[in-house]
Amino acid sequence: MSLISTDKAKLDRLAELTAKTETSSGAGLWREALKRLRGSKMALIGAAIIAVFVVVAVVGPWLAPYGPTDQTWRGEVFPNQGKFVGPRADNWFGLDHLGRDTFSRFLEGARQTLLVGVVSMLIGLVLGALVGALSGACATLGGRAGRRIDDVIMRVTDILLALPSLLLAVSVAAVLGQSLTTVMIAVGVVQIPVFARLLRGSMLAQGGTDYVLAARSLGIRKRRIVLTQILPNSLSPVIVQATLSLATAIIEAAALSYLGLGNPDPAVPEWGVMLSQAQRFFDNAPMMSVFPAVGIIITALGFTLLGEAMREALDPKLRG
């Protein structure tokens, strides 16, 4: 009995050392990636754009010179006659057809756009990671029954991936009804199969590595192998995809708002809603659509640049 206990203690110690080695190597990977990001112009430009966007979204409403629904200028109520006022000293982006300050609405709309993008990305990330982790665990260490569960999950995921993302988002939004929460849920649902497929593939790649085979030969429980070794080392591509998905989420959320599926209150500024309202007056006042469109494009560009830089920094094939 003492000999068996001694052998078991040695195996547990060896398993702990294996886990620590993998953890330290993972930390080293992230330190190296951060060092590469600091030297990447693409990452710095993307981070600068995102920083400006976040600052505008957080403190913009307090920096706005006027309220987003104010229609009074120089003591007089602006007449609702579809007239427009171009950029001037009092109103940097001019006034819209209702006499509201476009610059103030642009700053307030940045907060709504950031809220929709982040929440929808988190919905897709959390639910997609749960589905992908379950599927990857079943496929890696679940045996025959686990592989059957993995097949069912992946077939459903493939069906969702086969549908155009915007069409799927519109369908979900149409079922749930018109609201800002609906936009978040609809865009988040579109992201679920992307994260699920990505995490599952990463876990399958990690399942065949030497440290997993060593852990299995030591008799470590499958659940512990998945939770402490395979899953933590499979999250790098998912984190990169989350950054890229923010850009996609902002564009798709703006598209849903543009189609009239967003916030039912048109007085609440949001870049997609502002773009939709400006469509009717594009011939007379094209600048109304330029400002929200440029905001959406530049913000999406910032997240895309940072995401691509992170992907290159974490890709072992691209590291020197």
pLDDT in tens, 240-280: 888 888 888 888 888 887 777 777 776 778 888 788 777 77
Report the half-sphere exposure of 232 (CA within 13 A, side-chain side): 18
For residue 273, the model assigns a pLDDT of 79
What is the crossing angle of helices 41-63 and 102-141, to 10°?
130
Q: What is the CATH number of domain 34-61+101-314?
A: 1.10.3720.10
Identify the segments of the chain with pLDDT beneath 70: 1-30, 33, 72-83, 86, 142, 266, 314-320
Beta carbons within 8 Å of 154's beta carbon, 6+ residues apart:
135, 197, 200
**Cβ-based neighbour number of residue 109 at 10 Å:** 30
Q: Which pTM was predicted? A: 0.76
For residue 18, the model assigns a pLDDT of 47
Domain ranges of the chain: 34-61+101-314
pLDDT in tens, 201-240: 888 887 777 777 777 777 777 777 777 777 777 777 888 8
For residue 117, the model assigns a pLDDT of 86
For residue 123, the model assigns a pLDDT of 92
d(CA 151, CA 163): 19
For residue 2, the model assigns a pLDDT of 45
For residue 127, the model assigns a pLDDT of 93
